[in-house]
Amino acid sequence: MGKAAALTAADHKGIPLLAALDEALVAVLRSGAIKLLRAEFLRADGSEAMLPKLLHRQELERMELERGICVFLTPEEAVAALRSLRREVAGLTYGWASPDHP
């Protein structure tokens, strides 16, 4: 079975309209105000032992610095993923039980 062709803006009239909504998100991704987690980090062998629960952003950033682990996409990678039209960005939100534990 062949690989599906990548979508282009010409494939659906709504794509340019939806992509225009992304421009505000692109700006904050470029600034680093919002960071995207690297899926490969979350799926890597041993990741559950290293990250048994979701940590605060500051703790994840510290992990990157201290251990040299790539936890987040770079701003350039995040923008490219958002604009890829291949559903490379997903959002997950949930309430934490307390300020210290999800």
Could you state, in order of their start, the residue ranges of all structural domains in the chain? 12-83
**In which band, very low, low, confident or very high, does the pLDDT at 7 lie, cut at 50, 70 and 90?**
low
Three-class DSSP category at 55? coil
Query: Residue 1: its pLDDT value, please?
Result: 44
Q: Which residues contact 86 (CB under 8 A, 6 or more apart)?
A: 6, 7
> Of 92 and 40, which is predicted with more confidence?
40
Over the range 75-94, which residues count as b (16 or more CB within 10 Å of their CB) and which as e?
A: beebbebbeeeeeebeeeee
* Tens-place pLDDT, residues 66-91: 999 899 999 999 999 998 877 788 88
> Of 8 and 17, which is predicted with more confidence?
17
CA distance 102 to 100: 7
